[in-house]
Every structure is written in structure tokens, then in C-alpha cells.
Amino acid sequence: MAIQHKLGGIFSPVLTPFKTDLSPDTQAFVRHCQWLINSEVGLAVFGTNSEANSLSVGERRQLLDALLEAGVPAARLMPGTGCCSLTDTVELTRHATSAGVGGVLMLPPFYYKGVSDEGLFRHFAEVIERVGDSRLRIYLYHIPPVAQVPISLALIERLLKAYPTAIAGIKDSSGDWTNTEAMLRQFQPEGFDVFAGSEVFLLRTLRAGGAGCITATGNVNPAPMVALFKSWQAADADAQQTALDGTRAVFQQYAMIPAMKAAVARYSQHSAWRTVRPPLVEMNTAQEAALFESLDAIGFQMPGL
Amino acid sequence: MAIQHKLGGIFSPVLTPFKTDLSPDTQAFVRHCQWLINSEVGLAVFGTNSEANSLSVGERRQLLDALLEAGVPAARLMPGTGCCSLTDTVELTRHATSAGVGGVLMLPPFYYKGVSDEGLFRHFAEVIERVGDSRLRIYLYHIPPVAQVPISLALIERLLKAYPTAIAGIKDSSGDWTNTEAMLRQFQPEGFDVFAGSEVFLLRTLRAGGAGCITATGNVNPAPMVALFKSWQAADADAQQTALDGTRAVFQQYAMIPAMKAAVARYSQHSAWRTVRPPLVEMNTAQEAALFESLDAIGFQMPGL
């Protein structure tokens, strides 16, 4: 019996293009999102790889509005809305939910460290109550290497019990397959959709009944990921996974965000794409040359960009 | 020869009172700030112990405006303005600086971990350039246990060289006296004012020529700290320091923010002061009873509150 997922497949935390004055380049953003949609990749805009936490609440709202005005289907959007502040999280979540997005990807409040599950439960509960919209679907965002505030299995259990409709799933960016496996075993059967945080776990996640993956490199290598998602039961699935891993390994030799932006700049012939907001730093010329050489060596392309 | 500090003495990251609906209680905030000013403690509003990162940009602006309207002297204010986002940091810093505050306390952007000094330099430089106000005085906020993004000696050196007027000093909340000592030795002679991040280092900081301390427990125990600041060359200075340490040790047995709020609630007889925003959790009855018993045992009071 096939498992029904509310949302499934490949999503990407969409890179946010900046002009050289560091303001968001709305036009380039819409264009990149349309390319991803055409590649059948869902838009987890405002994720870690989107430099979302380097944007203000107002900038995120404007970029989301621009996508909707450009005709990007709301159902294919899973914007990141989790901020340190309760009030910011509520504002972004309410805005996205009333626009009809497929779901929101929600970081825990991440400034204070060592907080209790009780405190995190109260935070998510307060957000759900304040948003007060039956369409709200929250995908929890577990990324302890960056947020440094984990989402434990016990917290998920408690949230699911209290809000079985609003708590829709998770992105597991722990990089720890044992943890993803535990979530898949414990919560996926209840309809809590587990997304791996990287395509290196895609095949394993799908074989265990998970929903797919939400992955940075979806920005640059979408088609082969979507192909594996569609054919994971085929004989060549492991070979497809190995090919995906090879491409990711090239990008992972560098800081991922500047490297992916350098690639988009190269293949779209739009050099401002290289720009990142501080505290990140764009690739230097030598790094770019080395990256491009490695990409050429594996025959990498971004067709249609 | 006495060292001249731009700002000196005891500052406190002012606790932010919330109503039971979790909205900021402006009236109680103004009252607490006035009590601190009367106690000769400067107002590092919107610090870590202020739950500032649980507030939106708009909430911080409104609270600062309320203080100024209530007649709190701007020169005694050192609001926290450092956010993850460049644009938020610029907005808050510009707002505070144009109000004539004595300085701003600036966290580094703290979402991305493992960022380079180059990236952090670009962030601070961009903020300074965008604010573009000769009155700007930035106190860097080094708090690696929470922000997880440190401010290195090399970064301070580079910032001071580029912006000798705007870069005014630092709050060192590393808890590592060796680091504070290195900053005092290397930068205090150039007029870069070093504040310890806790009163346990107050006497040592003053003896080494530092500016004072910016400390959470300034919220509850201001008078004895100010007394030591004024009489650090007196014969009983070490005894005063020991007494300060004893009071701090009582609060440090608990999560500091809920414990200090419980104390303010008790001595001001305003029970809503106990409220914290998630992800923090207020003290339970048993914890409060134990705290109050310990405070009574050392004869603790908050006179005039």
C-alpha cells in the first residue's frame, strides 16, 4: 500500500539573489523559482541556504508576494517562517498561510541555547494558536549543526498529539541517518511526513516510506533528483543515488552557498548572482576556477537556466 | 593617570516585562528602567537577559521610544541592536543612534556558524557605512556560549583600524578572564572600552583599566555593584567583590532570566513580572520558594523597587 504524503518529492531552499548593493534581486529570484518549478522542484524559499536569516521580515514578505504575483503556484511553496522572535514567526507564518502555501518550514527559536522541550512546545503551540488558521501545515526544521537548538523525538510526539493537523512533518538536517530513521519509524506511519535534509539520504528515505528531501543542491542539480524520486523502485536506483552523491560532493568541497551561487552565476551568465550578504563571503576567483573545473570534469550542466 | 572612558560603570541588560498575554508591559518596563537609573545603573536594554531576540524589530523600537518619552536620559542607554539580518541591524542601530543613545551593544549576526572574520568585518563595516552617523558608538558583544559566533582579537584590531571612532568598546561575556585580560591589554590603551560581561570580573576589570561591567544581575543587585565601581581602590574592595559574588551565586543556581524575573515580581509585588516569552519557561512554585529562601538567608533586598 502506497503511503500518501501531504507534500512529497524534492524541495529546495531557494538561493536568494542579491544585487551588488545587497538588496534582493526580485526579478532574478522569480526567474530562478520558475526554473525550479519547471524542473518539478518545490520551493522551500527562505531556508538556511536562502540566507533567509540575513533578511528582514519585510524583505521575506515582499519576496513571497512577488512569487505569487508572478504566478508561482502557492501549493508548491514551503517558505521558512521560523525566527528567534515569537512575534516575527507569527507574522511570517500568518502571511504565508493566508496566501495558501503548501506548508511552512519552521526553525525553532534559535538564540537561546539549552532550552527545554517545554519551552519549545510552548513556542510552537503559541504560534499555532495565534495563526489560528486551519490551513496551517508546519514542517519542523531540525538543523542542530546550525540552529544549535534540536527538535527531539519527545517534542515531536507531544506536538503531534496536541496539533495533529498543524504539525505536518519535518526536515531532518541533522546529517544523522539514525535520527531520520527513528523519525520515519515512529512518526511517518501517523502521516507525519519526513523529509531528509540532503539528497544523499534520498533513496534511503524513500525506501523507508519518507516524503522526499529538501536539499540545497536542488538549486543546481534538480532534474536528476526528481528522476530518482520518480523511479526509486527501478533497478538503477542505487546507481542514480551514487551519481547524485558525486555532484553533491563537488559542491561540498566549498562553502555551499557561495559555491552554488557561483554556479548559478556561471550557467545563467548573470554575474551578480555571486553576491552574498555578510557574514557570508562570495567565492574568490581561484575557488571559482577550481569549482568550475571539477564541475566540467563530471559533465555538470544546468540546462534551461 | 586616570583612564578616560566614553561610557563607564555598571550597565544592566534590562529585563523585559511581559503581560500575561506575552505582550511587552511598557509601563512596568519604564518603571524598572527608572529604578535602575536612580540606582546609577546604565540601561543596556535589549540584551540577552532582556529576551531581546524574542522581540520583533518593531517591539524594540516602541520600547525604546517609550523610555525616551518618559524622560530616561538617552546618554545612559546602550540598546542591543545586533540581529541576524543586516537590514534589521541597520534599522535598529540607525533608530537608536539618531535618538542620541550613549552607544549600542551589537551582537554579530548569529545564525550562520563558523563564519570568517572577513565576513564579520564586512557585516560591521556595512552597518557603520549604512548608518552613516558620526554619533554612532558600537560596543561589540562577544558572547560565544550563546551566539556561538565569537568576536576575535584579530577582528577587533581590524575594525578599530578602519573605524576608530565608531568602534567604541566591547562587552566580553565569554566568561573567560584570559580573553578579557587580552582585550584590556591590547585595546583598552587605544580607548577601546572593555566591559566585563559579569560582575564577578568587575574588580579585576577595573584594576586592569577597564570600563566596568554590563551584567544581568544589575537588574536585581545594582547598588552594591555601583558602590564597588566607585570605591574599587578602597581597602574593602575585595570584600565587596566577595559579597557581589555571593548574591550572584544564588541566582546562578537557576536559569537566570526566570529567577531574576521572579525576584522582581516578589519585591515589586507585581506578579506578571514572572512571565517570560517562549522558548523560556518561568520558575515553578517550588523553584521560587527555594530561590526566595536562599535570598532571605543572605538578607537580599531590592530597596526602592
Q: What is the pLDDT of residues A272-295, one digit of tens each?
A: 999 999 999 999 999 999 999 999
Quote the mean pLDDT of chain B: 97
DSSP category for residue B43: E
Q: Is B21 on the interface with A (CB under 8 A)?
A: no
* Cell numbers that stand for A115 in this block: 532550552
In chain A, residues with a C-beta closer than 8 Å to the C-beta of B48 are 111
pLDDT, average across residues A18-32: 98
Indicate whether B201 belongs to any domain: yes
Q: What is the pLDDT of residue B1?
A: 44
Report the candidate in A241, A246, A140 with the shortest Cα–Cα distance to residue A197. A140
Q: Is A148 on the interface with B (CB under 8 A)?
A: yes
Locate the chain A residue with the closest alpha carbon to B282. Answer: A119
- Place A183 in a pLDDT band, splitting at 50, 70 and 90: very high
pLDDT, average across residues A10-35: 98
Total number of residues shown for chain A: 305
CA gap B140, B130 in Å, rounded: 17
Report the candidate in B165, B197, B185, B206 with the shortest Cα–Cα distance to residue B2. B206
B177 within 8 A of B204, measured Cβ to Cβ = yes
CATH number at residue A223: 3.20.20.70
At residue A139, does pLDDT exceed 70?
yes
A249 within 8 A of A199, measured Cβ to Cβ = no
Locate the chain A residue with the closest alpha carbon to B91. Answer: A56
pLDDT digit string, tens, across residues B72-109: 999 999 999 999 999 999 999 999 999 999 999 999 99
pLDDT digit string, tens, across residues A197-246: 999 999 999 999 999 999 999 999 999 999 999 999 999 999 999 999 99
Report the candidate in B1, B3, B41, B45 with the shortest Cα–Cα distance to residue B206. B3
pLDDT, average across residues A192-200: 98
- Place B236 in a pLDDT band, splitting at 50, 70 and 90: very high
Q: How many CB atoms lie within 10 A of CB B86?
A: 22
CA gap A121, A108 in Å, rounded: 10
Total number of residues shown for chain B: 305
Q: Is A278 on the interface with B (CB under 8 A)?
A: yes
Residue B56 has its nearest CB partner, among A87, A113, A279, at A87
With 0-12 CB in 10 A as exposed, 13-18 as middle and 19+ as buried, what is A273?
Answer: buried
> Which of A54, A106, A152, A275 best probes binding to B when mutated, by most B CB atoms within 10 angstroms?
A54
Domain count for chain A, please give it: 1
Indicate whether B4 belongs to any domain: no
Residue A85 has its nearest CB partner, among B54, B109, B122, at B54
Indicate whether B247 belongs to any domain: no
Contact A146 B109 (CB under 8 A): no
CA gap B188, A272 in Å, rounded: 41
Locate the chain A residue with the closest alpha carbon to B122. Answer: A278
Indicate whether B273 belongs to any domain: no
pLDDT, average across residues B16-25: 98
In angstroms, what is the C-alpha Rg of chain A?
18
CA gap B295, B250 in Å, rounded: 7
In chain A, residues with a C-beta closer than 8 Å to the C-beta of B278 are 86, 109, 119-120, 122-123, 126
B264 within 8 A of A99, measured Cβ to Cβ = no
At residue B2, does pLDDT exceed 60?
no
Q: What is the pLDDT of residue B210?
A: 98
190-249 in chain B: CB under 8 A from chain A: none
At residue A195, does pLDDT exceed 80?
yes
At residue B243, does pLDDT exceed 60?
yes
CA gap B169, B191 in Å, rounded: 8
Q: What is the pLDDT of residue A3?
A: 66
Distances (CA, A) of B251 to A172, B110, B254, B294: 36, 27, 6, 9
pLDDT, average across residues A66-94: 98
Q: What is the pLDDT of residue A4?
A: 79
In chain B, residues with a C-beta closer than 8 Å to the C-beta of A256 are none
* Cell numbers that stand for B74 in this block: 538617552
At residue A14, does pLDDT exceed 70?
yes
At residue A2, does pLDDT exceed 70?
no
Contact B110 A115 (CB under 8 A): no
Rounded to the nearest 10 degrees, the angle between the axes of helix A256-268 and helix A237-252 is 100
* Cell numbers that stand for B178 in this block: 584570559
70-129 in chain A: CB under 8 A from chain B: 84-88, 91, 108-113, 115-116, 118-120, 122-123, 126
Shortest Cα distance from B86 to chain A (angstroms)? Answer: 6
Say how many CA atoms lie within 13 Å of B70 toward its Cβ.
18
Contact B113 A145 (CB under 8 A): yes
Please provide the distance, in angstroms rounded to a whole number, between the alpha carbons at the two ends of chain A.
Answer: 38
Locate the chain A residue with the closest alpha carbon to B113. Answer: A146
- Place A172 in a pLDDT band, splitting at 50, 70 and 90: very high
Classified as helix, coil or strand, B140 is strand
In chain B, residues with a C-beta closer than 8 Å to the C-beta of A59 are 85, 87
Phi, psi torsion values for A224, nearest 5 degrees:
-65, -30
Peptide bond into B278 cis (omega under 30): no
Residue A146 has its nearest CB partner, among B112, B116, B145, at B112
Q: Is B62 on the interface with A (CB under 8 A)?
A: no
A110-135 burial, b for 16+ CB within 10 Å, e for fewer? bbbeebebebbbbbbbbbbebbeeee
The separation between CA A61 and the C-alpha centre of its own chain, rounded to angstroms, equals 17
In chain A, residues with a C-beta closer than 8 Å to the C-beta of B123 are 278-279
Sign of CA pseudo-dihedral A104, A171, A157, B147: negative
- Place B4 in a pLDDT band, splitting at 50, 70 and 90: confident
DSSP category for residue B18: B
CA gap A16, A32 in Å, rounded: 9
Report the candidate in A32, A75, A74, A68 with the shortest Cα–Cα distance to residue A50. A32
CA gap A212, A195 in Å, rounded: 5
pTM score, whole prediction? 0.97
Quote the mean pLDDT of chain A: 97
Sign of CA pseudo-dihedral B96, B18, B13, B222: positive
Indicate whether B26 belongs to any domain: yes
Residue tagged 578579557 (cell numbers) = B180
Indicate whether A72 belongs to any domain: yes
At residue B50, does pLDDT exceed 80?
yes
pLDDT, average across residues B266-281: 97
Rounded to the nearest 10 degrees, the angle between the axes of helix A222-230 and helix A237-252 is 150
Shortest Cα distance from A99 to chain B (angstroms)? Answer: 22
Classified as helix, coil or strand, B167 is strand
Indicate whether A150 belongs to any domain: yes
* Cell numbers that stand for B284 in this block: 515553578
Phi, psi torsion values for A64, nearest 5 degrees:
-65, -45
Contact B279 A108 (CB under 8 A): yes
Residue A53 has its nearest CB partner, among B58, B91, B111, at B111
Indicate whether A259 belongs to any domain: no
Q: How many CB atoms lie within 10 A of CB A189?
A: 10
Q: Which secondary-structure segment (H or E) carries B262? A: helix B256-268
Contact A84 B53 (CB under 8 A): yes
pLDDT, average across residues A120-132: 98
Contact B109 A278 (CB under 8 A): yes
Show the 3-state SS of chain A. Answer: CCCCCCCCEEEECCCCCECCCCCECHHHHHHHHHHHHHCCCEECCCCHHHCHHHCCHHHHHHHHHHHHHCCCCHHHECCECCCCCHHHHHHHHHHHHHCCCCCEEECCCCCCCCCCHHHHHHHHHHHHHHHCCCCCCEEEEECHHHHCCCCCHHHHHHHHHHCCCCEEEEEECCCCHHHHHHHHHHHHHHCCEEEECCHHHHHHHHHCCCCEEECHHHHCCHHHHHHHHHCCCCCCHHHHHHHHHHHHHHHHCCCHHHHHHHHHHHHHCCHHHHCCCCCCCCCCHHHHHHHHHHHHHCCCCCCCC
Residue A54 has its nearest CB partner, among B109, B113, B146, at B109
Contact A280 B146 (CB under 8 A): no
Locate the chain A residue with the closest alpha carbon to B148. Answer: A148
Residue B86 has its nearest CB partner, among A54, A58, A281, at A54
pLDDT, average across residues B260-282: 98
pLDDT, average across residues B166-182: 98
The boundaries of the domain holding residue A167 are 9-231
CA gap B153, B137 in Å, rounded: 19
Sign of CA pseudo-dihedral B147, B152, B158, B160: positive
Shortest Cα distance from A106 to chain B (angstroms)? Answer: 14
Q: What residues contact residue A299 under an 8 Å CB cut-off, 6+ apart?
A: none
